[in-house]
Amino acid sequence: MRMPGTGTSNIGRSVLGAAGRIAGGILGAAAHVVLPAVGGKPDPRLLERSPRFHDGRFRNAPQPPRPPLPNDEPFTVRDFLSGGAARRPPGRIPLVPQAADRPVDGLHITWYGHASTLVEIEGRRLLLDPVWGERPSPVQFVGPRRMHPAPHRLEELPRLDAIVISHDHYDHLDRDAVRLLLRDQQAPFVTALGVGAHLRRWGVPESRIVELDWSESTEIAGVRITAAPGQHFSGRLFTRNNTLWASWVLAGPSRSVFYTGDSGYFDGYAAIGEQYGPFDATLVQIGAYNASWPDIHMTPEEGVATHRDVRGGVLIPVHWGTFNLALHPWGEPADRVWREAKAHEVVLAVPRPGERIDVDQPPAVDGWWQYLA
């Protein structure tokens, strides 16, 4: 129905909106049945204890308007699907095999690619966002393909004390990895509020699921794990923002690490640094950015600012180099974070996939990604 000079009428908009919600609900319900990788549906009654949950959705903390970024131009689906050779590495990405000698004291961090990381903190082991699949997608024949194999087999990982899932996007929550870890490990899964519904759908028992709202903590094997704020969103296929996203504070008896998860840059990082910092190391998302997405993924320069805001020691960049999720060239995130770290005298370590970093003796950055052939 159209009214002269007014476009779609209020009645028409209401009908279209209702139809869209009904269609989305039907498709979402069907997806949860047909595609197990989509996961489960959280019970809204369990989420209502969070002050961030309103009208059936989680919401970011309000932020002041951001000025346009340089080259702030819209892009099309065609841009994303084409993109050119620069978005892929020019040669084989070097992988580092699992070290035979693994000292358990101190603080060590192993980057497996994208955001998947093992934090070994004073003898305790925490695995972050394990994604071992070929594509971060509900099906393995569609979606961005890995640009390097997983450097170590998931079955070869040492005994874990906790598995931390930052949020429910496919490049951070991998059903097959969860099921393997359920079979081979005894560690609990610690995640943001609502994400436990996916884990339950995949057979993880309630006794191995810990869900946290921002500022809530749990202690496992002497490591205090705290969910902290972030600026992002959530959803798998037809759902959006019905589970929470978070950054993470990992505090052992005397050492600590901060992991951003996925986030746009925001003023909450200074508060995190004030409350929980300083940190011996930070794991900071630096890739998959675009001028059109300032509220969900930060740029490399913002990643360095985040590291400084939270009062980090060694900066280890993550969320780059494994999946092609944006329009920027493949190696650009590492180039830019290296340049920005130098400008601010930030200690930076850029491991190859599979490389184990001793935070007390980080290797000098050698620009390995610039010399692939």
Q: Is residue 34 included in any domain, yes or no?
A: no
Cα gap 49→58, rounded to integer Å: 11
Q: Is residue 230 included in any domain, yes or no?
A: yes
- The sign of the dihedral angle between the CA atoms of 324, 325, 327, 330 is negative
What the block records as the tokens of 368 is: 């390995």
Q: What's the farthest any 2 CA atoms get from each other in the chain?
A: 76
Q: Is residue 63 included in any domain, yes or no?
A: no
Mapping DSSP onto H, E and C, the string for 80-107 reads HHCCCHHHCCCCCCCCCCCCCCCCCCCE
Q: Is residue 166 included in any domain, yes or no?
A: yes
**Domain total of the chain:** 1
One-letter amino acid for residue 57 of the chain: R
Cα gap 340→197, rounded to integer Å: 39
Q: Is residue 123 included in any domain, yes or no?
A: yes
Q: Is residue 110 included in any domain, yes or no?
A: yes
Write the DSSP string, 27-89.
HHHHHHHH-GGG-----HHHHTTSTTEETTEE-PPP-PPPPPPTT-----HHHHH---GGGS-
Which residues partner with 228 through β-bridges? Answer: 247
pLDDT number for residue 239: 86
pTM of the shown model: 0.88
Cα gap 18→26, rounded to integer Å: 12
Q: Is residue 131 included in any domain, yes or no?
A: yes
Distance, C-alpha 10 to centroid of its chain: 39
Q: How many residues does the chain have?
A: 373
For residue 356, give the nearest of 102, 94, 93, 92 by alpha carbon: 102
For the chain, residues with pLDDT lower than 50 are 1-34, 72
DSSP 8-state assignment for residue 268:
H
What the block records as the tokens of 147 is: 């640009």
CA angle 58, 60, 64 (to 5 degrees): 155
Q: Is residue 52 included in any domain, yes or no?
A: no
Q: For the domain that residue 309 is a member of, what is the CATH number?
A: 3.60.15.10
What the block records as the tokens of 361 is: 């003796």
What pLDDT, in 10s, does the model give residues 155-203? 999 999 999 999 999 999 999 999 999 999 999 999 999 999 999 999 9
- What domain range is 328 assigned to? 85-371
Q: Check whether the bond before 278 is cis (ω within 30° of 0).
A: yes
What the block records as the tokens of 260 is: 């951003």
